[in-house]
């Protein structure tokens, strides 16, 4: 490859893009690998072949059509990892329904906003996960559930939502059971499903994923069949996946990491999807890799750190591992080296991307030298363009930091019902502005060096302080608040809030944290609070958040974490 003279690369490739919907491609995969393992869910004792998974997907898709749902309707899913999530992912795609991923950690204010923002007509929900009691929260938002018949909800606070589908055993007034929906479709619905395969287009929207917004409210990144099935395919290609691979997926399915890097990378290569538990547990992950002889393992750096640091780590036989992906936040170089040497992941890759780009734009490959695989996020993906620009939008020289922009098949359609923020993110030439500071070296390898956006990454979760600030402003005692990220040895970063109270008011950190509990996700609740009379300001009246951060690092005696 010739040396770059400017920070622009394009993924020229002889491998064509997949010109099919997810449903059509899934059916071809099921036919080709019908008798091979498709899905193993350890905590549910599920082990299905591709043929068995396809029968359940078709039955559930037909059931959704029998409920009166139509192509283009939005169907939310609020659940941790389980077999029902996978069925719903592929069934909605086959029926032309738009699956809306709702973070299992969301609380009342967040789930209400998400359901109403995109106008969800149906919601598939678990009963409970960790401290989240989903049914209880839904009843608080919509007490009308207790007086409704399934499929006919009319709720004041959730005006578009009519159908609730409940994962798990038992009956509950106002809800259909997931297993019952599997039985609802008849010949007419199966015929309709077959007809839809010839009607649906690969550029149709098929998935909405919420990403936190710098202006407060989350944004619904809207992705197509073409976006995510191709991204999943090329992610799998970078790992050299095939039908012999078994991919351990402890990352959440609501996120692109689980449903695209995980599920879609697997089904495009005939590999098995393996889920250790509902949510990440290091011991269960290690046990699953050993028992299932997994060849690939996924995780954010904090997951790998927890696995490597488990007291029983050395007793597990992980020799089956070959590859995998570490992504979601910057990777400490030493952690990457230990994954290669102690977990047998000689071909492990690092991926970089964002929800709005399906998500991966850059990835290391199995052939990259070790120093490239532990020190960069790799090179541009096939059929994708990347450039690094300065503040004026001009492409910079190799090695010069600037904003990373990406263009190609992977860029989202836009933010759902938000043309203003879509146009802010995607320019007239089709470039997605990531807000990340990066460099490209002369060989085309990318290094992420910072963030333009005011974003905190805590354990792989992207948090925009403005969203947390907007919620804290609801507290009756708070006059003003500024939230920043500070270094943390376990999660990479934690939130710190500087709070200015209204005159005459007094409050403690515990009171503010209690106000947040059950209203916003636990990882968005600041760990540190300081009550102040003023904020450091510029002469033009702008708050200097970097000074707040520096003061807290000094006060709390924190140290910056070395990252790749």
The answer as to whether 134 is a domain residue is yes
Same domain, yes or no, for 288 and 312?
A: yes
How many whole angstroms separate alpha carbon 268 and alpha carbon 61?
20
CA neighbor of 210 nearest in space, from 73, 80, 101, 97:
101
Using the predicted structure, report yes or no on whether residue 518 has a pLDDT greater than 60.
yes
Same domain, yes or no, for 438 and 496?
A: no
Task: Give 389's contacts (C-beta < 8 A, 6+ positions apart).
Answer: 7, 395, 396, 402, 403, 405
Alpha helices in 67-101 (DSSP H): 83-95
Name the band, by pLDDT with cuts 50, 70 and 90, for residue 540. very low
Same domain, yes or no, for 463 and 434?
A: no
Same domain, yes or no, for 533 and 443?
A: no
Same domain, yes or no, for 175 and 78?
A: yes
The whole-number pLDDT of residue 561 equals 47
Instruction: Output the domain CATH number for residue 122.
Output: 3.40.50.980
Same domain, yes or no, for 372 and 316?
A: yes
Burial tier of 271 (Cβ tally within 10 Å: 0-12, 13-18, 19+) = buried
Least confident of 284-288, 422-426, 486-490: 486-490
Domain count, the chain: 3
Q: Are 439 and 399 in contact (CB under 8 A)?
A: yes
Residue range(s) defining the domain that contains residue 469? 457-555
Same domain, yes or no, for 445 and 461?
A: no
Using the predicted structure, report yes or no on whether residue 563 has a pLDDT greater than 70.
no
The whole-number pLDDT of residue 215 equals 46
Query: What mean pLDDT is predicted for residues 186-194?
Result: 98
Same domain, yes or no, for 494 and 377?
A: no
The answer as to whether 561 is a domain residue is no
How many whole angstroms separate alpha carbon 22 and alpha carbon 499?
47
Tokens of 86: 């996978």
Mean confidence (pLDDT) of the chain: 93
The whole-number pLDDT of residue 212 equals 66
């Amino acid at each position: 490859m010739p040396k770059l003279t400017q920070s622009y690369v394009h993924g020229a490739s002889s491998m064509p893009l997949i010109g099919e919907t997810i449903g059509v491609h899934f059916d071809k995969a099921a036919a080709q690998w019908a008798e091979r393992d498709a899905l193993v869910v350890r905590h549910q004792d599920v082990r299905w072949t591709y043929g068995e998974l396809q029968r359940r997907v078709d039955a559930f898709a037909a059931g959704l059509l029998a409920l009166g749902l139509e192509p283009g309707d939005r169907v939310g899913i609020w659940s941790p990892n389980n077999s029902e999530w996978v069925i719903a992912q592929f069934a909605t795609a086959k029926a032309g329904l738009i699956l809306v991923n709702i973070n299992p950690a969301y609380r009342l204010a967040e789930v209400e906003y998400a359901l109403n923002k995109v106008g969800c007509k149906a919601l598939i929900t678990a009963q409970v996960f960790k401290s989240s009691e989903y049914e209880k929260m839904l009843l608080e938002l919509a007490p009308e559930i207790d007086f409704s018949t399934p499929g006919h909800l009319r709720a004041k606070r959730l005006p578009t939502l009519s159908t609730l589908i409940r994962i798990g055993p038992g009956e509950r007034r106002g809800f259909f059971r997931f297993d019952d929906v599997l039985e609802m479709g008849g010949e007419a619905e199966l015929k309709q499903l077959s007809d839809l395969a010839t009607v649906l287009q690969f550029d149709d929207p098929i998935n909405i994923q919420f990403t936190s917004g710098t202006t407060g409210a989350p944004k619904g990144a809207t992705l197509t069949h073409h976006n995510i099935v191709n991204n999943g395919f090329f992610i799998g290609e970078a790992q050299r996946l095939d039908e012999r691979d078994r991919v351990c997926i402890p990352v959440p399915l609501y996120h692109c990491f689980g449903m695209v890097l995980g599920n879609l990378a697997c089904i495009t290569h005939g590999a098995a999807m393996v889920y250790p538990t509902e949510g990440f547990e290091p011991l269960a992950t290690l046990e699953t890799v050993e028992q299932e002889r997994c060849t690939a393992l996924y995780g954010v750096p904090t997951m790998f750190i927890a696995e490597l640091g488990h007291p029983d780590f050395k007793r597990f036989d992980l020799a089956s591992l070959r590859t995998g992906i570490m992504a979601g936040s910057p990777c400490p170089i030493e952690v990457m080296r230990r994954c290669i040497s102690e977990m047998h992941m000689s071909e492990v890759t690092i991926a970089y991307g964002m929800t709005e780009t399906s998500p991966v734009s850059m990835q290391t490959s199995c052939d990259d030298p070790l120093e490239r695989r532990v020190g960069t996020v790799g090179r541009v993906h096939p059929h994708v363009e990347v450039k690094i620009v300065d503040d004026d939008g001009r492409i910079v020289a190799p090695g010069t930091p600037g904003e990373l922009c990406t263009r190609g098949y992977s860029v989202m359609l836009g933010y759902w019902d938000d043309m203003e923020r879509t146009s802010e993110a995607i320019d007239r030439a089709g470039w997605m502005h990531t807000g990340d500071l990066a460099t490209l070296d002369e060989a085309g390898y990318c290094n992420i060096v910072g963030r333009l956006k005011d974003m905190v990454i805590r354990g792989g979760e992207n948090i925009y302080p403005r969203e947390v600030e907007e919620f804290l402003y609801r507290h009756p005692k708070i006059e003003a608040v500024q939230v920043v990220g500070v270094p943390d040895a376990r999660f990479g970063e934690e939130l710190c809030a500087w709070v200015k109270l209204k005159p005459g008011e007094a409050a403690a950190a515990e009171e503010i944290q209690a106000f947040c509990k059950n209203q916003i996700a636990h990882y968005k609740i600041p760990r540190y609070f300081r009550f102040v009379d003023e904020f450091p300001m510029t002469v033009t009246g702008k708050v200097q958040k970097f000074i707040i951060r520096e003061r807290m690092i000094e006060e709390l005696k924190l140290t910056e974490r070395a990252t790749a």
